[in-house]
Chain A
């Protein structure tokens, strides 16, 4: 009995805590629109502790991003990208004896690269912005030949796979293409910008009918680019959008593209009645969702909704992303180990169950629920804009240069 208790105590030593519970005050500051204070609190709470590094870097990156500290955010998110890549490989010893490492869900990976692309865009590192924006496309990682393997893994973990007709919609983020095009436009590479914008419109056409992908404001610009560059896609675009007139920059005018990051990501929660983990969308404040320039309101279009991508796949989709067939194998082996060698396997099995539950109930809550874009054509000069914020409309002065694209980033409700 004593030996068994000792084994149990040793086995359960160093189990993971619940990161989201411990960082609740940090997240509350972010929700209140005080990300700089949130970042400072995060540093204090995580210094010299054993919290999962990936979750810490993701939060650090998101908080600095929200605070407009693009450099610090890009460094943290780069660290998160490296950690995320490392964790794609399943380490049996880590799974068996160590803490079950948190793996990002697809919508979290897409958010990570999208935020990083925005960081680079604001740092005027347009080439890096293009690379990051393209990485929001998960298909690049999973080559076409790997689709079958992905489906097999999904089957293995949850008993079913992603609806094949929607795989492209889940894998490729329209906002990624939009940002890539924007970076190229800022570089003056109109041909490259057209190709990415055109791909964004194509993705919109293949998305489910009621998917939250809105690119209407972009269409006149793409038609103008197609005409100007004499692209072969010109006729096809005119067939897709009959009656829409091409519209490019007018002389003496510039364009402000407002990137609005709306809300916060969904979180996982244990349903007390059904005793299952489920995905819950974050509450959204009923605050204005539009920009105002020269007294006229402009409604930003939601180009990609990460919340929707997550909710459509549900918790089973998230589980597929967090777990690997290797981890399922380790759990199965432990279960049989319990049957064969109870005294040795019980503490390991208990620890395993705890670690897996903790891994599957964590999430990156500070990612934006939705990415929206408002395009404003304005005369060159300085303008006072009203932009959506976490406390209502917020005034921001923006300097517009003739013929140039200025990018503004805000966090909305």
Chain B
């Protein structure tokens, strides 16, 4: 009887262990480093995976986990590998992630200008300091497959909804929402769609099967797509900046010197 009941419960799709999640779920919960570990385990069971895509995920997930050096090394590794070809929007995202890695490590105006050339903050007023926060949000557009006819697949993309608005709080002031400065969702979605609509090779017997599993491209789902920038003049001295992330509110102490600008990168 016990076995029968257990089998019935297993059949209700609750077979995965309690407390374990897919890499995508872990990323959505704000656990990027665990997402990378889970992804590594998945990749280990799939010898046919594209190593270039794997390194891209590694770079983005380590970046989201605040391991800027590890992320930068993974991006360097990506450039040295052959395989997955980046779309234009993906190349832009990659360049920006590398620039924000540098910004998080060096925290200077030059690194900020490299990441956001058209958005250079002015220096603070005399005797004051400045805080600049860079928020990363969003994710790869969702690719949907539609069947207009029995044999022909049509692809559309839908923007992935933002998991949480970029919100921050300085010391004991009221929390504020930051508007999106730059979003690559639409551009990436369009490029994914046009790529997916490339005519199918009629001699490829597995093409319909691949369509049924969600398209012909692998998606760099671990990358952010939206950036917000908050800029604020503050009195010199220690401050507490509290940022809202999907995993909860995170306060951190920041020391701002007079005349200095402090840059903070806040991954999703």
Q: Which residues of chain A (356-403) have a CB below 8 Å from chain B?
A: 392-393
CB of A231 closer than 8 Å to a CB of B: no
* Cβ-closest chain A residue relative to B31: A210
Complex contacts, B204 vs chain A, CB 8 Å: none
Tell which of A159, A162, A208, A287 touches B34, judged by Cβ atoms closer than 8 Å: A208
CB of B6 closer than 8 Å to a CB of A: yes
Complex contacts, A159 vs chain B, CB 8 Å: 6, 9-10, 12, 14-15
CB of A47 closer than 8 Å to a CB of B: no
Complex contacts, B19 vs chain A, CB 8 Å: 162-163, 166, 170, 312-314, 317
Q: How far, in angstroms, from A212 to B29 measured CA to CA in the complex?
A: 12
* Cβ-closest chain B residue relative to A166: B19
* Cβ-closest chain A residue relative to B30: A210
Number of A residues whose C-beta is below 8 Å from B?
A: 37
Contact B251 A209 (CB under 8 A): no
CB of A166, distance to nearest CB on chain B (Å): 5
CB of A143 closer than 8 Å to a CB of B: no
Contact B17 A160 (CB under 8 A): yes
CB of A338 closer than 8 Å to a CB of B: no
Tell which of B2, B32, B37, B239 touches A297, judged by Cβ atoms closer than 8 Å: B239
Take A162-B19, A163-B18 as given contacts and tell me if A297 and B240 are in contact as well, using a CB distance cutoff of 8 Å.
Answer: yes
Tell which of B17, B31, B251 touches A299, judged by Cβ atoms closer than 8 Å: B251
Q: Which residues of chain A (285-306) have a CB below 8 Å from chain B?
A: 286-290, 296-299
Complex contacts, B16 vs chain A, CB 8 Å: 160
Complex contacts, A314 vs chain B, CB 8 Å: 18-19
Q: How far, in angstroms, from A155 to B247 measured CA to CA in the complex?
A: 29
CB of A44, distance to nearest CB on chain B (Å): 35
Contact A296 B238 (CB under 8 A): yes
Contact B5 A328 (CB under 8 A): yes
Complex contacts, B10 vs chain A, CB 8 Å: 159-160
CB of B194, distance to nearest CB on chain A (Å): 35
Residues of B within 8 A of A (CB): 1-2, 5-6, 9-10, 12, 14-20, 26, 30-34, 37, 65, 167, 169, 171-172, 174-175, 238-240, 242, 244, 247-249, 251-253
With A163-B17, A297-B171 already in contact, 20 other A-B pairs whose C-beta atoms are closer than 8 Å: A156-B5, A159-B9, A160-B17, A162-B18, A163-B20, A209-B31, A210-B30, A210-B31, A210-B34, A284-B249, A286-B167, A288-B169, A288-B251, A289-B242, A289-B251, A290-B253, A297-B239, A313-B19, A316-B14, A328-B5
Residues of A within 8 A of B (CB): 154-156, 158-164, 166, 170, 208-210, 212, 284, 286-290, 296-299, 312-314, 316-317, 320, 325, 328, 332, 392-393
